[in-house]
Chains A and B, each alone.
Chain A
Amino acid sequence: MLASQDGDAAAHRVLLERLSRHLRAYYKGKLARIGRGATEAEDLVQEAVLAIHIQRHTYDPAEPLTPWVHAIARYKLIDFLRRNRASVTDVPIDEAGDVIANDDHLSAESSFDLRRLLKHLPEKMQCAIEAVKLDGLSVAEAAQRCRISESGVKVNIHRGLKALAALIAQRTQT
């Protein structure tokens, strides 16, 4: 987590992969109890992974990581249930330990498509995210392609990901 806060891409990837397995087990367990399926669990996993990425600056290194992840996971779960008109009282009381449970099932897909969702964003955000996140260009190259400054690319990626998170939240409303 500390390395990914410092901008280490490889560490960030390993972190998100590991956390996504924990999150999958967590959400499957919770959703199974209220009769929801694996696709919805995967939607939530991706919402939470996106939130962890966007909010990685809010993790305080002096604190343990698990409660931070658990708080995000639970917040997204309650938000999902509220959007879907289920009662918050349906959420079983759970402990921070629940989020460390593991699950290796990787084949599930969520119900949304990143490239298609991107089309709903403003052009600059779309271009910046596509260039850096999907096509693997550096920030400088992306700045050239999108004809904005380098700091503009960074700002557009950050805002664009937040906008994407909001879009996904709308989409998963059933």
Chain B
Amino acid sequence: MKTDELISALSAGVEPVNRRQVNRSVGIALVVGMAIAIGVAFLALGVRTDLTTPRTLIFLLLKIVFAFGTTGAAAVYLARLARPGGERRVSPGLAALPFVAILLLAGVSLGQAPSSHWDGMVMGDQWLECLISIPIIAVVPFAVVIWAVRQAAPTNLVRTGAFSGLVAGGMSATAYALHCTDDSLPFVALWYGGTIVLCTLAGALLGPRLLRW
């Protein structure tokens, strides 16, 4: 077949396309994924019942700001990565900002506490539950995000997969925060941050397989 024949065929009956479709798919995935994550966390774990003191409310808010902040920043880049050549316009620095912030806060909070308390502050009561729940809750939102990215054409599959995992991990951690009763900054930094990084690595590994086009 000559290339001219292919071009004639492709130029017959050309439909207009929606330039916002890529951003829209990512946006839809964000809303749907978040709803699923909260739904799963609510049904499987339930919402924490001790939200009566200002201290617990502040901590809940803080965890949500951290977890959702990672998702938000990553989603902006994900919408760029989904387009061919979009990796040129992505600096992982901004996506890492929430992690840097929470690590700094954790450091300050450890510095103010006597070292005999450190163990309890870092390990909390339920680090194992956190470690297991966040990746599990992230599975379905991750699938939704991958679906959205597949509507477009990423050309750097490892990085796009990593950001998909980051977005899903952040959504999952946001949902898990509604349940988790461990209120200490070092705990959030280590176990929330760590599991979100885990989701990111999983995404980077799966990206080349799931996103080929």
A interface list, Cβ under 8 A from B: 4-10, 12-13, 16-17, 20, 24, 42, 45-46, 49-51, 53, 55-61, 63, 67-68, 70-72, 74-75, 79, 106-110, 112-114, 132-134, 136-139, 142, 154, 157, 161, 165
Contacts and interface: CB of A to CB of B under 8 A. Distances in A.
Given A9-B13, A56-B17, A106-B4, 17 more contacts: A13-B8, A16-B7, A20-B3, A45-B3, A50-B6, A58-B83, A59-B83, A63-B89, A67-B85, A71-B85, A72-B153, A74-B155, A75-B84, A108-B2, A113-B1, A132-B12, A133-B9
Instruction: Report the 8 A-B pairs with minimum CB-CB distance, sorted nearest first.
Output: A71-B85, A7-B16, A13-B11, A71-B84, A57-B17, A132-B13, A133-B9, A55-B153
A146 to B, nearest CB: 13
Contacts, number: 123
Interface SS of chain A: helix, strand, loop or mixed?
A: helix
A17 B5 CA distance: 11
A70 B86 CA distance: 11
A7 to B, nearest CB: 3
Contacts of A5: 16-17, 19
24 contacts: A5-B19, A8-B14, A9-B13, A17-B4, A46-B1, A49-B7, A50-B10, A55-B152, A57-B17, A60-B22, A63-B89, A68-B83, A68-B84, A70-B85, A106-B3, A107-B2, A110-B1, A110-B3, A114-B6, A134-B9, A136-B12, A142-B13, A154-B15, A157-B15
Contacts of B22: 57-58, 60
Interface in B49-93: 82-86, 88-89
Interface in B184-210: none
Interface of B: 1-19, 21-22, 82-86, 88-89, 152-153, 155, 212-213
Contacts of A137: 13
B19 to A, nearest CB: 6
A4 B14 contact: yes
Nearest to A111: B1
B6 A49 contact: yes
B28 to A, nearest CB: 15
